[in-house]
Structure 1
Protein backbone atom coordinates (compact mmCIF):
# COMPACT_ATOMS: atom_id res chain seq x y z
CA UNK A 1 0.00 0.00 0.00
CA UNK A 2 1.14 3.53 -0.70
CA UNK A 3 2.67 4.83 2.57
CA UNK A 4 1.21 8.26 1.87
CA UNK A 5 -2.22 6.88 2.76
CA UNK A 6 -1.37 6.56 6.41
CA UNK A 7 1.27 9.24 6.90
CA UNK A 8 -0.35 11.91 4.74
CA UNK A 9 3.18 13.18 4.06
CA UNK A 10 4.26 14.29 0.61
CA UNK A 11 7.86 14.24 -0.53
CA UNK A 12 8.46 17.96 -0.94
CA UNK A 13 10.36 20.63 0.93
CA UNK A 14 7.62 23.22 1.28
CA UNK A 15 4.79 22.97 3.82
CA UNK A 16 2.12 23.10 1.10
CA UNK A 17 2.46 21.27 -2.19
CA UNK A 18 1.46 22.91 -5.47
CA UNK A 19 -0.29 20.48 -7.81
CA UNK A 20 -0.82 21.95 -11.28
CA UNK A 21 -4.14 21.06 -12.91
CA UNK A 22 -3.69 20.59 -16.65
CA UNK A 23 -7.34 20.41 -17.73
CA UNK A 24 -7.23 23.78 -19.50
CA UNK A 25 -4.12 22.78 -21.46
CA UNK A 26 -6.00 19.72 -22.73
CA UNK A 27 -9.11 21.83 -23.44
CA UNK A 28 -7.05 24.12 -25.71
CA UNK A 29 -5.38 21.12 -27.37
CA UNK A 30 -8.78 19.59 -28.15
CA UNK A 31 -9.83 22.67 -30.14
CA UNK A 32 -7.76 21.31 -33.04
CA UNK A 33 -6.99 17.82 -34.31
CA UNK A 34 -3.39 18.24 -33.21
CA UNK A 35 -1.28 17.40 -30.17
CA UNK A 36 -0.57 21.06 -29.48
CA UNK A 37 -0.23 22.21 -26.80
CA UNK A 38 1.12 18.97 -25.41
CA UNK A 39 -0.24 18.03 -22.01
CA UNK A 40 2.85 15.99 -21.14
CA UNK A 41 5.18 18.80 -22.18
CA UNK A 42 3.21 21.23 -20.01
CA UNK A 43 3.54 18.80 -17.10
CA UNK A 44 7.29 18.58 -17.65
CA UNK A 45 7.67 22.37 -17.71
CA UNK A 46 5.60 22.70 -14.53
CA UNK A 47 7.58 20.03 -12.67
CA UNK A 48 10.91 21.45 -13.78
CA UNK A 49 9.78 24.86 -12.51
CA UNK A 50 9.10 23.47 -9.04
CA UNK A 51 5.54 22.12 -9.02
CA UNK A 52 5.16 19.30 -6.51
CA UNK A 53 2.55 17.37 -8.45
CA UNK A 54 0.16 17.17 -11.38
CA UNK A 55 -3.64 17.05 -11.19
CA UNK A 56 -6.14 16.04 -13.86
CA UNK A 57 -9.91 15.79 -13.74
CA UNK A 58 -10.98 13.56 -16.65
CA UNK A 59 -14.68 13.80 -17.45
CA UNK A 60 -16.67 10.94 -19.00
CA UNK A 61 -17.12 12.96 -22.22
CA UNK A 62 -13.33 13.63 -22.41
CA UNK A 63 -14.02 17.31 -23.05
CA UNK A 64 -10.47 18.13 -21.98
CA UNK A 65 -8.31 15.42 -20.37
CA UNK A 66 -8.59 12.17 -22.30
CA UNK A 67 -8.02 8.64 -21.05
CA UNK A 68 -4.78 8.51 -23.03
CA UNK A 69 -3.60 11.70 -21.31
CA UNK A 70 -4.05 10.08 -17.90
CA UNK A 71 -1.90 7.14 -18.94
CA UNK A 72 0.72 9.34 -20.64
CA UNK A 73 1.00 11.59 -17.60
CA UNK A 74 1.28 8.62 -15.24
CA UNK A 75 4.14 7.29 -17.34
CA UNK A 76 5.81 10.70 -17.20
CA UNK A 77 5.42 10.83 -13.42
CA UNK A 78 7.51 7.69 -13.06
CA UNK A 79 10.51 9.89 -13.86
CA UNK A 80 9.53 12.27 -11.03
CA UNK A 81 9.33 9.99 -7.97
CA UNK A 82 9.45 12.93 -5.55
CA UNK A 83 6.18 14.33 -6.95
CA UNK A 84 2.57 13.15 -6.90
CA UNK A 85 -0.13 12.37 -9.44
CA UNK A 86 -3.63 13.34 -8.34
CA UNK A 87 -6.59 12.18 -10.42
CA UNK A 88 -9.93 13.82 -9.64
CA UNK A 89 -13.44 12.87 -10.62
CA UNK A 90 -16.73 11.35 -9.64
CA UNK A 91 -16.10 7.80 -8.41
CA UNK A 92 -19.58 6.85 -9.63
CA UNK A 93 -18.54 7.71 -13.21
CA UNK A 94 -15.20 6.87 -14.83
CA UNK A 95 -12.71 7.55 -12.04
CA UNK A 96 -12.36 4.10 -10.52
CA UNK A 97 -12.00 2.41 -13.90
CA UNK A 98 -9.11 4.74 -14.74
CA UNK A 99 -7.52 4.09 -11.37
CA UNK A 100 -7.66 0.33 -11.86
CA UNK A 101 -6.13 0.69 -15.32
CA UNK A 102 -3.20 2.74 -14.00
CA UNK A 103 -2.45 0.39 -11.12
CA UNK A 104 -2.87 -2.64 -13.37
CA UNK A 105 -0.18 -1.28 -15.65
CA UNK A 106 2.17 -0.49 -12.79
CA UNK A 107 1.80 3.26 -13.22
CA UNK A 108 1.89 5.75 -10.33
CA UNK A 109 -1.31 6.94 -8.68
CA UNK A 110 -0.84 8.74 -5.40
CA UNK A 111 -4.19 10.35 -4.76
CA UNK A 112 -7.79 10.05 -5.91
CA UNK A 113 -9.90 13.11 -5.21
CA UNK A 114 -13.58 12.20 -5.17
CA UNK A 115 -15.72 15.04 -6.55
CA UNK A 116 -19.56 14.91 -6.73
CA UNK A 117 -19.88 16.53 -10.15
CA UNK A 118 -22.59 15.61 -12.63
CA UNK A 119 -21.82 14.68 -16.22
CA UNK A 120 -23.16 17.97 -17.58
CA UNK A 121 -21.47 20.32 -15.08
CA UNK A 122 -19.01 22.81 -16.55
CA UNK A 123 -16.93 22.68 -13.36
CA UNK A 124 -17.16 21.43 -9.80
CA UNK A 125 -19.52 23.59 -7.74
CA UNK A 126 -20.24 21.80 -4.46
CA UNK A 127 -18.87 19.22 -2.07
CA UNK A 128 -20.19 15.86 -0.92
CA UNK A 129 -23.29 15.84 1.27
CA UNK A 130 -22.69 13.87 4.43
CA UNK A 131 -24.06 11.70 5.85
CA UNK A 132 -26.37 11.36 2.81
CA UNK A 133 -23.60 10.31 0.38
CA UNK A 134 -21.73 8.20 2.89
CA UNK A 135 -23.24 4.80 2.18
CA UNK A 136 -22.22 4.96 -1.48
CA UNK A 137 -18.81 6.47 -0.80
CA UNK A 138 -17.52 4.06 1.84
CA UNK A 139 -16.95 1.02 -0.45
CA UNK A 140 -15.35 3.24 -3.09
CA UNK A 141 -12.91 4.66 -0.56
CA UNK A 142 -12.08 1.11 0.49
CA UNK A 143 -11.55 0.14 -3.16
CA UNK A 144 -9.24 3.10 -3.71
CA UNK A 145 -7.18 2.15 -0.67
CA UNK A 146 -6.90 -1.39 -2.02
CA UNK A 147 -5.32 0.14 -5.14
CA UNK A 148 -2.77 1.94 -2.95
CA UNK A 149 -4.21 5.42 -3.43
CA UNK A 150 -4.90 8.07 -0.85
CA UNK A 151 -8.47 9.42 -0.93
CA UNK A 152 -9.41 13.07 -0.63
CA UNK A 153 -13.07 14.13 -0.52
CA UNK A 154 -14.08 17.43 -2.13
CA UNK A 155 -15.99 19.22 0.63
CA UNK A 156 -17.68 22.51 1.39
CA UNK A 157 -16.24 24.32 4.45
CA UNK A 158 -18.66 22.81 6.96
CA UNK A 159 -17.01 21.90 10.28
CA UNK A 160 -19.85 19.64 11.40
CA UNK A 161 -19.34 17.07 8.61
CA UNK A 162 -15.60 16.55 8.90
CA UNK A 163 -15.91 13.77 11.47
CA UNK A 164 -18.31 11.98 9.13
CA UNK A 165 -15.76 12.21 6.31
CA UNK A 166 -13.12 10.69 8.55
CA UNK A 167 -15.49 7.91 9.64
CA UNK A 168 -15.88 6.87 6.01
CA UNK A 169 -12.13 6.21 5.83
CA UNK A 170 -11.10 9.28 3.83
CA UNK A 171 -7.49 10.38 4.30
CA UNK A 172 -7.97 14.02 3.39
CA UNK A 173 -10.59 16.57 2.48
CA UNK A 174 -10.16 19.15 -0.24
CA UNK A 175 -11.86 22.37 0.83
CA UNK A 176 -13.86 23.85 -2.06
CA UNK A 177 -12.57 27.44 -2.11
CA UNK A 178 -14.78 29.27 -4.63
CA UNK A 179 -16.70 31.06 -1.86
CA UNK A 180 -13.41 32.35 -0.46
CA UNK A 181 -12.17 33.46 -3.88
CA UNK A 182 -15.37 35.44 -4.46
CA UNK A 183 -15.09 37.11 -1.05
CA UNK A 184 -11.39 37.94 -1.30
CA UNK A 185 -10.83 41.67 -1.24
CA UNK A 186 -14.36 42.41 -0.08
CA UNK A 187 -15.72 43.27 3.38
CA UNK A 188 -16.85 39.65 3.68
CA UNK A 189 -13.34 38.19 3.37
CA UNK A 190 -12.63 37.83 7.09
CA UNK A 191 -15.99 36.23 7.81
CA UNK A 192 -15.66 33.73 4.97
CA UNK A 193 -12.07 32.90 5.88
CA UNK A 194 -13.19 32.20 9.44
CA UNK A 195 -15.51 29.49 8.11
CA UNK A 196 -12.63 27.86 6.24
CA UNK A 197 -10.38 28.10 9.26
CA UNK A 198 -13.03 26.42 11.42
CA UNK A 199 -13.57 23.68 8.82
CA UNK A 200 -9.84 23.07 8.61
CA UNK A 201 -9.53 22.82 12.38
CA UNK A 202 -12.47 20.39 12.52
CA UNK A 203 -10.87 18.26 9.81
CA UNK A 204 -7.57 18.10 11.67
CA UNK A 205 -9.32 17.19 14.93
CA UNK A 206 -11.01 14.33 13.07
CA UNK A 207 -7.63 13.06 11.86
CA UNK A 208 -7.96 14.29 8.29
CA UNK A 209 -5.25 16.08 6.33
CA UNK A 210 -6.20 19.17 4.33
CA UNK A 211 -6.12 20.00 0.64
CA UNK A 212 -7.73 23.02 -1.01
CA UNK A 213 -8.69 24.11 -4.48
CA UNK A 214 -10.96 25.99 -6.88
CA UNK A 215 -10.36 29.59 -8.00
CA UNK A 216 -7.24 30.02 -5.91
CA UNK A 217 -4.83 32.41 -7.63
CA UNK A 218 -1.72 34.52 -7.07
CA UNK A 219 -3.73 37.28 -5.40
CA UNK A 220 -5.61 35.19 -2.84
CA UNK A 221 -3.48 32.09 -2.21
CA UNK A 222 -1.14 33.48 0.44
CA UNK A 223 -3.99 34.96 2.49
CA UNK A 224 -5.80 31.64 2.43
CA UNK A 225 -2.81 29.62 3.58
CA UNK A 226 -2.12 32.06 6.41
CA UNK A 227 -5.71 31.79 7.63
CA UNK A 228 -6.02 28.01 7.21
CA UNK A 229 -2.80 26.48 8.52
CA UNK A 230 -1.71 22.97 7.71
CA UNK A 231 -2.92 22.74 4.10
CA UNK A 232 -0.93 19.90 2.55
CA UNK A 233 -1.77 20.56 -1.10
CA UNK A 234 -3.42 23.13 -3.33
CA UNK A 235 -4.45 22.09 -6.83
CA UNK A 236 -4.69 25.05 -9.18
CA UNK A 237 -5.52 25.03 -12.88
CA UNK A 238 -7.70 27.74 -14.39
CA UNK A 239 -6.00 30.77 -12.84
CA UNK A 240 -2.53 29.28 -13.23
CA UNK A 241 -2.97 28.55 -16.93
CA UNK A 242 -4.53 31.98 -17.47
CA UNK A 243 -1.51 33.60 -15.80
CA UNK A 244 0.77 31.47 -17.97
CA UNK A 245 -0.64 33.12 -21.11
CA UNK A 246 0.94 36.35 -19.89
CA UNK A 247 3.98 35.19 -17.93
CA UNK A 248 4.85 31.80 -19.38
CA UNK A 249 4.19 28.51 -17.61
CA UNK A 250 7.53 28.11 -15.85
CA UNK A 251 7.54 31.65 -14.42
CA UNK A 252 3.92 31.26 -13.35
CA UNK A 253 4.63 28.04 -11.46
CA UNK A 254 7.54 29.70 -9.69
CA UNK A 255 5.29 32.63 -8.74
CA UNK A 256 2.71 30.29 -7.21
CA UNK A 257 5.42 28.51 -5.25
CA UNK A 258 6.54 31.91 -3.96
CA UNK A 259 2.96 32.64 -2.89
CA UNK A 260 3.07 29.44 -0.84
CA UNK A 261 6.38 30.38 0.75
CA UNK A 262 5.10 33.85 1.62
CA UNK A 263 2.39 32.27 3.74
CA UNK A 264 5.12 31.16 6.18
CA UNK A 265 6.63 34.64 6.41
CA UNK A 266 5.48 37.28 8.93
CA UNK A 267 2.71 39.39 7.48
CA UNK A 268 3.75 42.98 6.85
CA UNK A 269 1.95 45.44 9.14
CA UNK A 270 -0.91 47.32 7.50
CA UNK A 271 -0.54 51.08 7.26
Structure 2
Protein backbone atom coordinates (compact mmCIF):
# COMPACT_ATOMS: atom_id res chain seq x y z
CA UNK A 1 0.00 0.00 0.00
CA UNK A 2 2.69 2.34 1.02
CA UNK A 3 4.71 1.37 -1.92
CA UNK A 4 1.76 1.90 -4.25
CA UNK A 5 0.94 5.40 -3.01
CA UNK A 6 4.45 6.55 -2.63
CA UNK A 7 5.99 5.28 -5.81
CA UNK A 8 7.35 8.20 -7.72
CA UNK A 9 7.03 6.45 -11.06
CA UNK A 10 3.30 6.14 -10.77
CA UNK A 11 2.94 9.78 -9.86
CA UNK A 12 5.17 10.87 -12.71
CA UNK A 13 3.00 9.11 -15.28
CA UNK A 14 -0.65 10.00 -14.74
CA UNK A 15 -3.44 7.90 -16.06
CA UNK A 16 -4.84 8.72 -19.45
CA UNK A 17 -7.95 10.90 -19.30
CA UNK A 18 -11.25 9.21 -19.75
CA UNK A 19 -13.76 10.44 -22.22
CA UNK A 20 -15.82 13.15 -20.67
CA UNK A 21 -19.46 12.37 -20.34
CA UNK A 22 -20.35 15.97 -21.22
CA UNK A 23 -20.09 15.32 -24.94
CA UNK A 24 -22.44 12.45 -24.77
CA UNK A 25 -24.77 14.38 -22.53
CA UNK A 26 -24.88 17.40 -24.75
CA UNK A 27 -25.33 15.26 -27.82
CA UNK A 28 -28.08 13.32 -26.17
CA UNK A 29 -29.76 16.26 -24.42
CA UNK A 30 -29.82 18.67 -27.39
CA UNK A 31 -32.14 17.95 -30.26
CA UNK A 32 -30.47 17.52 -33.58
CA UNK A 33 -30.51 20.68 -35.72
CA UNK A 34 -32.78 20.49 -38.73
CA UNK A 35 -31.04 20.20 -42.04
CA UNK A 36 -30.84 23.41 -44.10
CA UNK A 37 -33.41 23.80 -46.85
CA UNK A 38 -32.53 22.59 -50.29
CA UNK A 39 -33.04 26.02 -51.83
CA UNK A 40 -30.28 27.45 -49.72
CA UNK A 41 -28.04 24.60 -50.62
CA UNK A 42 -28.78 25.14 -54.29
CA UNK A 43 -28.36 28.89 -54.10
CA UNK A 44 -25.05 28.67 -52.28
CA UNK A 45 -23.20 27.06 -55.17
CA UNK A 46 -24.87 29.42 -57.61
CA UNK A 47 -23.81 32.41 -55.55
CA UNK A 48 -20.40 30.97 -55.05
CA UNK A 49 -19.80 30.74 -58.77
CA UNK A 50 -19.74 34.53 -59.40
CA UNK A 51 -17.55 34.87 -56.34
CA UNK A 52 -15.18 32.33 -57.71
CA UNK A 53 -15.28 33.85 -61.17
CA UNK A 54 -14.92 37.42 -59.94
CA UNK A 55 -11.23 37.11 -59.27
CA UNK A 56 -10.63 35.86 -62.78
CA UNK A 57 -12.72 38.61 -64.34
CA UNK A 58 -11.12 41.25 -62.19
CA UNK A 59 -7.73 39.90 -63.04
CA UNK A 60 -8.57 39.89 -66.76
CA UNK A 61 -9.91 43.43 -66.71
CA UNK A 62 -7.01 44.63 -64.63
CA UNK A 63 -4.63 43.13 -67.13
CA UNK A 64 -6.19 45.03 -70.08
CA UNK A 65 -7.73 48.32 -68.96
CA UNK A 66 -9.14 49.80 -65.74
CA UNK A 67 -12.91 49.89 -65.39
CA UNK A 68 -14.53 53.20 -66.33
CA UNK A 69 -15.25 55.50 -63.49
CA UNK A 70 -18.62 56.99 -62.74
CA UNK A 71 -17.45 60.45 -63.77
CA UNK A 72 -16.58 59.19 -67.25
CA UNK A 73 -20.01 57.64 -67.66
CA UNK A 74 -21.93 60.82 -66.91
CA UNK A 75 -21.06 62.71 -70.14
CA UNK A 76 -22.09 59.67 -72.17
CA UNK A 77 -25.53 59.67 -70.66
CA UNK A 78 -25.88 63.40 -71.09
CA UNK A 79 -24.67 63.25 -74.69
CA UNK A 80 -27.00 60.38 -75.45
CA UNK A 81 -29.90 62.25 -73.89
CA UNK A 82 -28.99 65.41 -75.78
CA UNK A 83 -28.64 63.49 -79.04
CA UNK A 84 -31.97 61.79 -78.46
CA UNK A 85 -33.60 65.11 -77.62
CA UNK A 86 -32.04 66.76 -80.68
CA UNK A 87 -33.15 63.90 -82.90
CA UNK A 88 -36.65 64.07 -81.47
CA UNK A 89 -36.75 67.83 -81.87
CA UNK A 90 -35.43 67.61 -85.43
CA UNK A 91 -37.95 64.91 -86.23
CA UNK A 92 -40.69 67.05 -84.74
CA UNK A 93 -39.57 70.11 -86.68
CA UNK A 94 -39.11 68.45 -90.05
CA UNK A 95 -42.82 67.86 -90.68
CA UNK A 96 -43.56 71.50 -89.88
CA UNK A 97 -40.92 72.66 -92.32
CA UNK A 98 -42.28 70.36 -94.99
CA UNK A 99 -45.78 71.63 -94.43
CA UNK A 100 -44.60 75.23 -94.62
CA UNK A 101 -42.84 74.67 -97.92
CA UNK A 102 -45.91 72.92 -99.27
CA UNK A 103 -48.19 75.75 -98.16
CA UNK A 104 -46.07 78.44 -99.77
CA UNK A 105 -46.62 77.08 -103.28
CA UNK A 106 -50.24 78.27 -103.42
CA UNK A 107 -51.53 79.27 -100.01
CA UNK A 108 -54.97 80.27 -101.31
CA UNK A 109 -55.68 76.95 -102.98
CA UNK A 110 -54.27 74.93 -100.08
CA UNK A 111 -56.27 76.86 -97.46
CA UNK A 112 -59.46 76.55 -99.48
CA UNK A 113 -58.88 72.83 -99.94
CA UNK A 114 -58.29 72.27 -96.21
CA UNK A 115 -61.33 74.27 -95.17
CA UNK A 116 -63.93 73.66 -97.87
CA UNK A 117 -62.67 70.50 -99.54
CA UNK A 118 -61.17 69.59 -102.86
CA UNK A 119 -63.94 71.28 -104.83
CA UNK A 120 -62.99 74.73 -103.54
CA UNK A 121 -59.35 74.21 -104.51
CA UNK A 122 -60.35 73.10 -107.99
CA UNK A 123 -62.65 76.09 -108.29
CA UNK A 124 -59.76 78.41 -107.39
CA UNK A 125 -57.53 76.73 -110.00
CA UNK A 126 -60.29 77.15 -112.59
CA UNK A 127 -60.59 80.82 -111.61
CA UNK A 128 -56.87 81.30 -112.16
CA UNK A 129 -57.07 79.56 -115.52
CA UNK A 130 -59.96 81.80 -116.56
CA UNK A 131 -58.01 84.84 -115.35
CA UNK A 132 -54.99 83.91 -117.45
CA UNK A 133 -57.18 83.25 -120.48
CA UNK A 134 -59.03 86.54 -120.02
CA UNK A 135 -55.71 88.37 -119.67
CA UNK A 136 -54.55 86.84 -122.94
CA UNK A 137 -57.83 87.83 -124.60
CA UNK A 138 -57.46 91.32 -123.17
CA UNK A 139 -53.92 91.58 -124.54
CA UNK A 140 -55.06 90.42 -127.96
CA UNK A 141 -58.01 92.81 -127.85
CA UNK A 142 -55.76 95.73 -126.91
CA UNK A 143 -53.35 94.81 -129.69
CA UNK A 144 -56.18 94.70 -132.20
CA UNK A 145 -57.54 98.02 -130.92
CA UNK A 146 -54.07 99.58 -131.11
CA UNK A 147 -53.65 98.37 -134.65
CA UNK A 148 -57.10 99.62 -135.62
CA UNK A 149 -56.55 103.07 -134.10
CA UNK A 150 -53.05 103.54 -135.49
CA UNK A 151 -53.08 105.77 -138.55
CA UNK A 152 -50.41 107.02 -140.87
CA UNK A 153 -50.18 110.77 -141.37
CA UNK A 154 -50.53 111.84 -144.99
CA UNK A 155 -49.03 115.29 -144.49
CA UNK A 156 -46.44 115.94 -141.80
CA UNK A 157 -46.92 119.09 -139.77
CA UNK A 158 -44.28 120.67 -137.61
CA UNK A 159 -44.96 121.05 -133.89
CA UNK A 160 -42.65 123.31 -131.88
CA UNK A 161 -42.44 122.86 -128.09
CA UNK A 162 -41.47 125.61 -125.62
CA UNK A 163 -38.10 123.97 -124.87
CA UNK A 164 -37.06 124.17 -128.55
CA UNK A 165 -37.91 120.60 -129.63
CA UNK A 166 -39.53 120.25 -133.04
CA UNK A 167 -41.28 117.08 -134.15
CA UNK A 168 -43.35 115.78 -137.06
CA UNK A 169 -45.96 113.07 -136.68
CA UNK A 170 -45.34 110.23 -139.12
CA UNK A 171 -47.83 107.80 -137.55
CA UNK A 172 -50.34 108.40 -134.75
CA UNK A 173 -50.36 105.54 -132.28
CA UNK A 174 -53.57 103.92 -131.05
CA UNK A 175 -52.24 102.26 -127.89
CA UNK A 176 -51.56 103.42 -124.34
CA UNK A 177 -49.74 106.61 -123.51
CA UNK A 178 -46.32 106.44 -121.91
CA UNK A 179 -46.03 107.19 -118.19
CA UNK A 180 -43.25 107.47 -115.68
CA UNK A 181 -41.91 104.01 -114.77
CA UNK A 182 -43.38 102.20 -117.80
CA UNK A 183 -41.26 99.67 -119.65
CA UNK A 184 -41.02 100.83 -123.26
CA UNK A 185 -39.61 99.08 -126.32
CA UNK A 186 -38.70 101.48 -129.12
CA UNK A 187 -36.89 101.57 -132.42
CA UNK A 188 -34.53 104.50 -132.76
CA UNK A 189 -32.53 106.09 -135.54
CA UNK A 190 -30.33 109.10 -134.82
CA UNK A 191 -28.13 111.22 -137.04
CA UNK A 192 -26.30 114.51 -136.93
CA UNK A 193 -27.73 117.35 -139.00
CA UNK A 194 -24.92 118.68 -141.20
CA UNK A 195 -21.33 117.45 -141.22
CA UNK A 196 -20.38 117.50 -137.57
CA UNK A 197 -17.78 114.73 -137.55
CA UNK A 198 -20.04 111.69 -137.49
CA UNK A 199 -18.92 110.72 -141.00
CA UNK A 200 -20.89 109.47 -144.00
CA UNK A 201 -24.63 109.97 -143.62
CA UNK A 202 -24.22 111.17 -140.04
CA UNK A 203 -26.11 108.16 -138.54
CA UNK A 204 -24.75 107.13 -135.14
CA UNK A 205 -27.54 104.76 -134.00
CA UNK A 206 -30.08 102.69 -135.97
CA UNK A 207 -32.27 99.83 -134.66
CA UNK A 208 -34.67 99.65 -137.61
CA UNK A 209 -34.53 96.77 -140.02
CA UNK A 210 -34.37 92.99 -139.80
CA UNK A 211 -31.83 91.40 -137.47
CA UNK A 212 -31.48 94.56 -135.38
CA UNK A 213 -32.38 94.67 -131.74
CA UNK A 214 -34.77 97.37 -130.48
CA UNK A 215 -34.04 99.48 -127.45
CA UNK A 216 -35.78 98.73 -124.12
CA UNK A 217 -35.89 101.38 -121.42
CA UNK A 218 -37.81 102.43 -118.33
CA UNK A 219 -39.30 105.90 -118.52
CA UNK A 220 -37.43 108.21 -116.18
CA UNK A 221 -34.43 105.91 -115.68
CA UNK A 222 -30.82 107.06 -115.86
CA UNK A 223 -28.25 106.90 -117.35
CA UNK A 224 -29.12 106.88 -121.03
CA UNK A 225 -27.69 104.21 -123.32
CA UNK A 226 -27.47 103.38 -127.03
CA UNK A 227 -28.02 106.89 -128.36
CA UNK A 228 -30.80 107.92 -125.98
CA UNK A 229 -30.79 111.44 -124.61
CA UNK A 230 -33.02 113.82 -122.67
CA UNK A 231 -34.75 115.29 -125.72
CA UNK A 232 -35.84 111.88 -127.03
CA UNK A 233 -37.38 110.94 -123.68
CA UNK A 234 -39.21 114.25 -123.56
CA UNK A 235 -40.68 113.60 -127.00
CA UNK A 236 -41.78 110.09 -125.96
CA UNK A 237 -44.02 111.40 -123.15
CA UNK A 238 -46.68 112.60 -125.59
CA UNK A 239 -46.58 109.51 -127.81
CA UNK A 240 -48.74 106.35 -127.80
CA UNK A 241 -47.88 102.75 -128.50
CA UNK A 242 -47.63 102.23 -132.23
CA UNK A 243 -46.76 105.88 -132.95
CA UNK A 244 -43.81 107.17 -134.95
CA UNK A 245 -42.20 110.63 -134.97
CA UNK A 246 -39.35 112.56 -136.47
CA UNK A 247 -37.80 114.71 -133.76
CA UNK A 248 -35.21 117.50 -134.08
CA UNK A 249 -33.33 118.36 -130.90
CA UNK A 250 -31.31 121.45 -130.04
CA UNK A 251 -27.76 120.79 -128.76
CA UNK A 252 -28.64 121.41 -125.10
CA UNK A 253 -31.24 118.58 -125.18
CA UNK A 254 -28.96 116.26 -127.15
CA UNK A 255 -25.40 115.48 -126.10
CA UNK A 256 -24.64 119.10 -125.22
CA UNK A 257 -21.13 120.44 -124.98
CA UNK A 258 -19.63 117.01 -124.21
CA UNK A 259 -20.61 115.20 -127.38
CA UNK A 260 -20.66 111.38 -127.53
CA UNK A 261 -18.38 108.61 -128.76
CA UNK A 262 -20.07 105.43 -130.07
CA UNK A 263 -16.90 103.63 -131.10
CA UNK A 264 -15.73 102.41 -134.52
CA UNK A 265 -14.96 106.01 -135.47
CA UNK A 266 -18.55 107.20 -134.91
CA UNK A 267 -18.63 110.37 -132.83
CA UNK A 268 -20.99 113.23 -132.16
CA UNK A 269 -19.15 116.48 -131.70
CA UNK A 270 -20.11 118.93 -128.97
CA UNK A 271 -22.90 121.38 -129.83
CA UNK A 272 -24.39 119.20 -132.59
CA UNK A 273 -28.06 119.42 -133.62
CA UNK A 274 -29.62 115.94 -133.78
CA UNK A 275 -32.47 114.39 -135.71
CA UNK A 276 -34.19 111.20 -134.45
CA UNK A 277 -36.85 108.91 -135.83
CA UNK A 278 -38.63 107.26 -132.89
CA UNK A 279 -41.16 104.44 -133.06
CA UNK A 280 -42.93 103.04 -129.96
CA UNK A 281 -43.37 99.27 -130.31
CA UNK A 282 -44.62 98.14 -126.88
CA UNK A 283 -45.64 99.70 -123.58
CA UNK A 284 -46.09 97.74 -120.36
CA UNK A 285 -45.86 98.17 -116.61
CA UNK A 286 -42.31 97.71 -115.40
CA UNK A 287 -41.74 94.77 -112.98
CA UNK A 288 -41.36 95.78 -109.34
Q: Return the TM-score normalized by structure 1.
A: 0.19
Q: Considering fraction of residues, name the structure with more strand.
A: 2
Bigger CA radius of gyration? 2
Tell me: higher relative CO, structure 1 or 2? Use CA pairs within 8 A at least 6 residues apart.
1
Q: Return the TM-score normalized by structure 2.
A: 0.19
